[in-house]
Amino acid sequence: MGSFPLAALHVNPPVQQADPVEGYARLLQLKNMIQNAPIQRQEAQNQVQAGQLENQQRQQQLTDQQGLTAAMQGWDGKDYNDLLPLAVKHGVSAQTVMGLKSKIQEQQQSISTTLKNNAEGGKAQIEAVKARGDVLDGTLSALADPKQVSDEQLPQALVQAAQDLAQKGVLDPAHAQQAAQLAQSGNPAQIRQQLDLMRKTNMAQSQILDEAQKKAQTGEAIARTNEANVNANLAPQRLASEQANQAATRRQEQQRIGIEGARLGLERQKASIDQMQSGATGADFLATLPAGAQAQVKAAANGDIAIPPPSARSPQAQAIRSAVMQYDPTYTDARYKGKQNFKTAGDAQNVVQLSTAMEHADRAIANSAKAGFAPALGSKTFESPESAAYMQDAEFLTGEVGKLVKNGVLSVDEGNKISSGLTASRQSVRDSALNETMDLLGGKARAVFQKYKTATGQDLPQKEFFDPKTQQRLTKYGIVQPDAGSDPFAAFGGKAH
């Protein structure tokens, strides 16, 4: 068999034919992409617009919050209805303002419904809320007053007050925690600003409660009038029956009131007897109080802290005020202000300057005796260390006298009279001038004591205002009586408290 040509083994591969189904699918996908492109672009635009709207809403919320804070800061506290116009004025959105108004109306409607369904119970609930509000207001007022709580004491005082209010149920734990966090800021100005906002919020809430209560009472009166009008049109028989039932109800109510009145009368009589039996004052009364209240009552009676005003509505505040009055029947509201003036204001400065002047005069008297006759004393050519020591005290005394003249404690003539004999060469002349100076200073000190007694109703407590050496000088030079016992100011008006 002949050989087969190699070229016959080469076979061309078959031509691949396109799949018509796959081609149609690709065309369909391309068509959908073209058709959906506007929709995708619109969705992207919608997402951008939604983001912009969310940012605008967040910015408006921030603006609303800032506006509400500014409105509350500018509110005078007289009528809560002025708050919403103030909020609009400070840029709060109409939507937020209407939402606040709607919440207030819902709250008032809820109170009215509660009073309608359970008048006594609802009233008790409202009075309890008001009482808690009064306690909160009293605490916030005290914390916000720099005279009662200094900037250094404020953070710790706020934390303690928040804990006390939480224990009494005035604040819930979350608000107490917020107050503690505020105290940690350590910024007295910011703390007092937040306390003022809390106090005004509390005031607005109290006014809303009062208005809701009044509206409920007005609505009840109108309802009773309408009921009377309807009853007048009823058939005589039905009206007579209802009137008879009402009369029976009234009799029962009168009997109940009579019984309750008799019970209350017995309780008042017993309370009156108890009060007469427990008419103790001073330390005897103080011993009947809880340990925690004793220090507060005593400090208030001494004028160291302010007591609640007569207008305070809180039962706790009134209890403290009554306890102070019974502990010290001579107490007046002017005592705290008068004592603080002697501690921090102009009278405090006068007390210090009088004490300093007496100290220099006392030392000058001692050094004058040591210097003896000193011819060159007036020219300040000191002959001895004793003369130099005396002249230094005399100069210090002259400086303190000048301060007292400047403050109006001494007259100019009195000041000149004191200074005129201090540089005499003869000891007798100097001692005479110094003794006269001490007498004059003593008279001014007595005037200060009397001013304190007039302002506070108490004798000035020596140990609070003078160091031990000054107390000795007051007795040594006869400014106070040496035999006054525990009360060195008894000669000027009676037993000190």
Sign for the CA dihedral angle at 148, 153, 155, 161 comes to negative
* Residue type at 153 in one-letter notation: Q
200, 233, 266: which is the final residue of a domain?
233
Q: Report how far residue 50's alpha carbon sits from residue 237's, in angstroms, rounded to the nearest whole number.
A: 71
Cβ burial of 450 (10 Å; 0-12, 13-18, 19+) is middle
Q: Residues 412, 421: contact at Cβ < 8 Å? A: no
Same domain, 144 and 241: no
Q: Do residues 115 and 187 both lie within one domain?
A: yes
Q: Is residue 162 part of a domain?
A: yes
pTM given for the model: 0.37
Question: Which range is most confident: 146-150, 259-263, 343-347?
Answer: 146-150
- Is residue 10 pLDDT above 50, yes or no? no
Residue 190 is predicted with a pLDDT of 80
Expressed as residue numbers, the domain containing 429 is 338-492
What does the buried/exposed string (b/e) look like for 152-161 if buried means 16 or more CB atoms within 10 Å of the residue's CB? eebbebbbeb
Helix/strand number for the chain, H first, E second: 18, 0
In a domain, 315, yes or no: yes
Give the end of a domain, one of 233, 259, 289.
233
Domain identity same for 241 and 229: no
Return the pLDDT at 494.
Answer: 41
pLDDT (tens digit, 9 = 90+) per residue, 418-454? Answer: 777 777 778 888 888 888 888 878 887 888 788 888 8
Lowest mean pLDDT among 16-25, 147-156, 166-175, 483-492: 483-492
Map tokens 């939604």 to a residue: 50
Is 213 a domain residue?
yes
- Domain count of the fold of the chain: 4
**Residue 170 included in any domain:** yes
Over 70: is that where the pLDDT of 369 sits?
yes
Reply yes or no on whether the pLDDT at 416 is more than 80: no
Pair 372, 313 in one domain = no
How far CA 281 is from CA of 62, 145, 301, 316, in Å, comes to 57, 31, 12, 20
Single out the residue of 398, 413, 493 nearest to residue 454, CA to CA. Answer: 493
pLDDT at 358: 83
pLDDT digits (tens, 9 = 90+) for 297-331: 888 888 888 888 888 888 888 888 888 888 888 88
Say if residue 248 is in the same domain as residue 259. yes
- Amino acid 276: pLDDT: 38
The predicted structure's pLDDT at residue 463: 78
Question: Do 204 and 297 sit in the same domain of this protein?
Answer: no
Lowest mean pLDDT among 34-43, 82-91, 358-367: 34-43
Residues 430 and 485 in one domain: yes
Q: Are residues 228 and 241 in the same domain?
A: no
In a domain, 55, yes or no: no
How is residue 186 written in tokens? 């350590």
**Band (490; pLDDT cuts 50, 70, 90):** very low
487 and 447 within one domain: yes
User: Could you tell me if 118 and 146 lie in one domain?
Assistant: yes
pLDDT at 492: 41
Of 70-74, 131-135, 154-158, 319-323, the one with minimum mean pLDDT is 154-158
Higher confidence at residue 411 or residue 115? 411
Question: How confident is the model over 378-402, as a mean pLDDT?
Answer: 75
Query: Last residue of a domain, which of 207, 233, 259?
Result: 233
Whether residue 28 is contained in a domain is answered as no
Confidence band, pLDDT 50/70/90 cuts, at residue 264: low
Do 295 and 431 have their domain in common? no
CA distances from 250 to 120, 217, 223, 238, 390 (A): 18, 21, 19, 18, 94
Query: What is the pLDDT, as a whole number, of residue 484?
Result: 45
* Average pLDDT for the chain: 75
Same domain for 349 and 433 = yes
pLDDT (average), residues 259-283: 59
The residue-averaged pLDDT of 14-43 equals 70
User: Is residue 64 included in any domain, yes or no?
Assistant: no
Q: How confident is the model at residue 239 (pLDDT cuts 50, 70, 90)?
A: low
CB atoms within 10 A of CB 28: 10
